[in-house]
Amino acid sequence: RPRAAALAGRLLDGMAADGPPADLVARFATPFPYAAVCGMLGVPSGDLGLLLPWASALMSAGHHPEDEVAAAHEGMRGYFAEQVASRRALSGGDLLTALVHGSDLTDEEIAVFGAGLLMAGGETTSAFLGACVLDLASRPGLAARLRADPSLIPSAVEEYLRWVWFAGTGGHPHVALAGAELAGTAIARGQVVVPLTDAANRDPAAFRDADRFDPARSPNPHLGFGHGRHMCLGAHHARVQLQTALAALLRRFDDLALAVDPAHLAWRDRMFLRGVWQLPLTWSGGPDSDR
């Protein structure tokens, strides 16, 4: 957490120095989670200029041409194969080195794992953080409340995990291997079932005032990270990143607001994750602006 806070501070210092307006996606929501994952993997964050276009193409659901996706796959695989090979002669405290010297995984498996972790830990948090700040910029009262009482930020993050819909392609289809009955609904063998966690997160039977955003909601049994054996492996890491990012942003800047008409925002289309390509923001100086 201290390293995440220091990283967030450096990025926001750069935004503050250049002044408003600024694109939060390019200046903070993307580099913050990706640089954090790079640090965990032991991958130079200076390589993000190479890695980010590949990651975007690999998260495409039709937005990028097939040949571009294929080239990104080869590029990402080759990059992480080189990273893993270099660890054979190195010692260090990063995750790739630990896997190379302390697991039974093959080099190819470790390379695939590293690439997957980079995208899973970077792209998801980036898209979600942008969506949270977009919502927060439309709720100045909420921003003021969280700024005045930062102890609410962890529960506000949990509420955003319930509230924000950022899966661009819906739920993952499941095929029933046998006939079953679920909540009074008959499911035949071979039938395809698509669970919609976003609908479940607004279920009035599970959440009081389900269509109201409550930053202090408790309990909050949302499915933002999935459930059971499909629970997100990086849930704890993502929570730390989101809590740290929102706390730093609110502490650094007052009066966060969109710098453009919301109707002019460009949304990520035909991508696995929903969000905006750019998020132009304006602000005034915050409590930390004269550090």
Q: Give the span between the Cα atoms of 180 and 253, in whole angstroms.
A: 53
The 10s digit of each residue's pLDDT in 55-85 is 999 988 778 889 999 999 999 999 999 999 9
Mean pLDDT of 196-204: 91
Asked if residue 6 is part of any domain, the answer here is yes
**In angstroms, how far is the first alpha carbon of the chain from the final one?**
20
Model confidence over 97-139: pLDDT tens digits?
Answer: 999 999 999 999 999 999 999 999 999 999 999 999 999 999 9
33 pLDDT above the threshold of 80: yes
The reply to whether 65 falls in a domain is yes
Is residue 18 domain-resident? yes
Q: Is residue 231 part of a domain?
A: yes
Whether 200 is covered by a domain: the verdict is no
* pLDDT over 90, % of the chain: 77
Question: Are the C-beta atoms of residues 60 and 272 closer than 8 Å to each other?
Answer: yes
Count: domains in the chain: 1
C-beta separation of 244 from 153 below 8 A: no
Residue 159's domain comprises: 1-168+214-282
Rounded CA gap, 32 and 241, in Å? 8
Could you report the per-residue pLDDT of 222-261, keeping only the tens digit for each? 999 988 887 888 999 999 999 999 999 999 999 999 999 9
Q: What is the CATH number of the domain that holds 232?
A: 1.10.630.10
Residue 204 lies in a domain: no
> Is 290 part of a structural domain of the chain?
no
pLDDT of residue 269 exceeding 90: no
94 in any annotated domain: yes
